Amino acid sequence: MQDLLFYVFAAVALIAGFLAVANPFSRNPLASALFLAVALVAVSGLFVLLHAFFLGAVQILIYAGAVMVLFLFVIMLLDLREEQKRRARKVAAGLASALALALAALISAAALAGGGPADPPALEGGARALGRALFTDFLLPFEIVAVLLVAAMVGVVWLSRKEAA
Amino acid sequence: MNMEGILALTGWGGLRWVGPVELFERGPVWLRDWAVGWLPEGAKVWAEGLIPAVAVLAVFGLLFGLATVAERKLLGRIQNRPGPNRVGPYGWLQFAADGVKMLTKEDVVPRSADRVLHFLAPIVMLAPVALSLAVIPYGRDLVAADPRCGLLFFFAVGSAAEVAAFMAGWSSRNKYSLLGAMRAIAQMISYELPLVLSALTVVMMAGSLSLVEIVEAQSGYWWGVIPRWHVMTPWGLAGLLLFMAAAAAASNRAPFDLPEGESEIIGGFMTEYSGFKYAIFFMGEYFGMFAVSGLAVTLFLGGWQAPLAVLEAAPSYGWFFLKLGVMIAWFIWVRGTLPRLRVDHLLNFGWKYLLPLGALNLLVAMVWRGLGGWAFPGAGAVRWLACLAMIGLPAILWGRLLMRSRGWGPRVYRYAS
């Protein structure tokens, strides 16, 4: 049952991810964004299968919920018709495909060569363990990220204020 | 724990006499185990997940119907008119007639709408809300799923409603739909913060994200009379008030029902929906109200715990649904009493008032725990009043200050003038 669910979630994530970047049915950026949301939900299903419940829940709460809505708003502010007409540049597409293939080759080589332990130990992904790690071993990076986010927020407020004056 | 109960009811002729108290308290669990006992080994895992799911959906489906009638009757009473009283005894079967009407109505889809998204939006609205009902403990051992991060799961699936509102508003190709969706999303994102902050206070004090453990942390009585519910502490009282204000906004209930303010933008993101799709949106909204009310009961009002030790003979799920009914009545009462807010008032209220007070409440809870060591006579009362003053005075003063800075005058529109 676990294996079956893994294949279901993995397949959904891959198919939705593919449709997000190269949708043969519509070139609408909104469809891409919604497929990205589906892929994110499937990935959080994979997290839950790894017993990382906290990570899975946070993935949905932040990425599939808040960040996705931000994406949708930004897309609405773009000119959709212009975006739909635009063709991908040949060089960029070739470079991106080559990079993706190299990454896939790297991952599959790593998986085939060493492989993980046949029976991976159960992950301790609870909120308690994560919180303890964040506030002891990773306190400085955690605080730096917090300051960074506050700086970004203050910047946005300042930029939107200036326009009104 | 309930093994003998299972044996008693599943074994042939092995029925054992149980008292009425135990029968009502354990009955639902026995019934589930009895039903599962009939099935072959392979199907048992599925049935143990499926039976609670069906039970939750059936109970809340019926509650949805009854709540719509109760809301109309209560609103009628508030507005000095009878309300629905024709269908069935005292009009209580009105929801069945409404359901049939909705089912047989024509399903209109605008020609330029995005048909797939237009179809999917009501489903994306309802399914996550139904999922969030799964983690609420309805009684002793009566919970469909108890993940270790139950509260987080609740908020995570709840965030899908924003995407659903956007899908509905955008796919309809209607200005009012899109405006309604933007209002809904702005409101849901702003009010999610005070909602989560006030729930976080409880998580900090109970030391767990599991809703079952949060209910268990509220068991027992002070001096044998006052239940140890979180609402009986100053931070819990303030938390409940903040939570309910934010919950009304998060579930699009009046006075925060701007996303569907019919006097301004017709029906908001539901403008282009008719027939059963509209009914599903309606159902999602009511399920959302039940879910946040159930969460408020679980976090602050002791969940399924009885208010007095002598009343523990009544079944625990009875207490839960009684408290849930009180919360729903509160929602209806507020809807019948308060006028709808304006958009900027709504967002100011959320960001400038509820959010700072929610953060302050977190501090008050810390002080409450820090003062727990006091041992002189009357320490409890002093601690209680000190913490209440810490949250109550800023609430009143900050509210006055915000009201004073708002002078009356012509309003300046930034983009429209």
Which DSSP string do the residues of A85-132 spell out, in sequence order?
HPPPPHHHHHHHHHHHHHHHHHHHHHHHHT---SSPPPP---HHHHHH
What pLDDT, on the 0 to 100 scale, is given for residue B173? 84
Q: φ and ψ at A87, to 5 degrees?
A: -95, 150
CATH code of domain A2-125:
1.20.120.1200
pTM of the model: 0.84
The pLDDT of residue B8 is above 50: no
Chain B closest CA to A32's CA: distance in Å? Answer: 13
Residues near A63 by beta carbon (within 8 Å), at least 6 away in sequence:
A40, A44
Give which of A28, A61, A62, A132 to mutate to test B binding, by max B Cβ within 10 Å: A61
What ranges do the domains of chain A cover?
2-125, 128-165
Whole-angstrom distance, CA of residue B324 vs CA of residue B328: 6
End-to-end CA distance of chain B: 70
Helices then strands (H, E): number in chain B?
16, 2
What residues of chain A lie within 8 A of the CB of B175, using their CB?
A: none
DSSP state of B221: E
Strand B226-227 and strand B221-222: pairing?
Answer: antiparallel
* The token pair that represents B295 in the structure block: 């969460």
What pLDDT, on the 0 to 100 scale, is given for residue A152? 92
What residues of chain B lie within 8 A of the CB of A58, using their CB?
A: 152, 156
Whole-angstrom distance, CA of residue A95 vs CA of residue B95: 60
Q: Where are the alpha helices (DSSP H) in B114-174?
A: 115-132, 150-158, 160-171
Identity of the residue in A30, A54, A164 whose CB atom sits nearest the CB atom of B170: A30
Whole-angstrom distance, CA of residue A110 vs CA of residue B142: 46
DSSP state of B139: B
- The answer to whether A33 contacts chain B (CB < 8 Å) is no
Q: Taking Cα atoms as reference points, which of B121, B130, B129, B127 lies closest to residue B178?
A: B121
What residues of chain A lie within 8 A of the CB of B166, using their CB?
A: 69, 72
Residue in chain A closest to B156 (alpha carbons) equals: A61
Identity of the residue in B148, B159, B166 whose CB atom sits nearest the CB atom of A66: B159
Residue B127 to residues B54, B122, B248, Cα–Cα distance (Å): 13, 9, 20
B56 band by pLDDT with thresholds 50, 70 and 90: confident
B16 band by pLDDT with thresholds 50, 70 and 90: low
The pLDDT of residue B2 is above 80: no
A12-43 confidence digits (pLDDT tens): 999 988 888 777 777 777 788 888 888 988 99
DSSP bridge pairs for B227: B221
A50-80 confidence digits (pLDDT tens): 877 888 888 888 888 778 888 887 877 776 6
**If 0-12 CB within 10 Å is exposed, 13-18 middle and 19+ buried, where does residue B213 land?**
middle
Residues near B88 by beta carbon (within 8 Å), at least 6 away in sequence:
B94, B96
Residue B109 to residues B118, B164, B181, Cα–Cα distance (Å): 8, 17, 18
Residues near B151 by beta carbon (within 8 Å), at least 6 away in sequence:
B135, B199, B203, B209, B210, B211, B214, B295
Residues in chain B: 417
| H or E segment to which residue B222 belongs | strand B221-222
Q: Is the CB of residue A39 less than 8 Å from the CB of residue A17?
A: yes
Per-residue b or e along B375-414, where b marks 16 or more CB atoms closer than 10 Å to that residue's CB: eeeeeeeebeeebbebbeebbeeeeeeeeeeeeeeeeeee
Interchain pair A61, B152: CB under 8 A: yes
The pLDDT of residue B1 is above 60: no
B74-88 confidence digits (pLDDT tens): 999 998 888 888 888
B210-250 confidence digits (pLDDT tens): 888 888 888 877 777 788 888 888 888 888 999 999 988 88
Q: How many CB pairs under 8 A join A and B?
A: 58
Residue A75 to residues A23, A27, A71, A78, B259, Cα–Cα distance (Å): 16, 13, 6, 5, 21
Torsion sign (Cα): A143, A147, A148, A149: positive
Residue in chain B closest to A76 (alpha carbons) equals: B170
The pLDDT of residue B175 is above 90: no
Q: φ and ψ at B11, to 5 degrees?
A: -70, 145
What residues of chain B lie within 8 A of the CB of A61, using their CB?
A: 152, 155-156, 159
What residues of chain B lie within 8 A of the CB of A1, using their CB?
A: 45
Q: Tell me which amino acid residue B348 is.
A: N
What pLDDT, on the 0 to 100 scale, is given for residue B14? 45
Q: Taking Cα atoms as reference points, which of B222, B274, B233 lies closest to residue B102?
A: B274
The ipTM of this complex is: 0.76
**If 0-12 CB within 10 Å is exposed, 13-18 middle and 19+ buried, where does residue A59 land?**
buried
Question: Mean pLDDT across chain B, nearest whole number?
Answer: 82
- The answer to whether A68 contacts chain B (CB < 8 Å) is yes
Q: Taking Cα atoms as reference points, which of B179, B189, B187, B192 lies closest to residue B152?
A: B192
Residues in chain A: 165
B93-129 confidence digits (pLDDT tens): 888 888 888 888 888 888 888 888 888 889 888 888 8
Name the more confident of A9 and A86: A9
What pLDDT, on the 0 to 100 scale, is given for residue A119? 61
Residue B132 to residues B212, B216, B303, Cα–Cα distance (Å): 14, 20, 16
A100-158 confidence digits (pLDDT tens): 899 999 988 887 876 666 565 655 657 777 788 888 888 999 999 999 999 998 988 88
Q: Is the CB of residue B327 less than 8 Å from the CB of residue B136?
A: no
Interchain pair A57, B156: CB under 8 A: yes
Question: Mean pLDDT across chain A, nearest whole number?
Answer: 81
What pLDDT, on the 0 to 100 scale, is given for residue A151? 94
- The answer to whether A80 contacts chain B (CB < 8 Å) is no
What pLDDT, on the 0 to 100 scale, is given for residue A71? 83
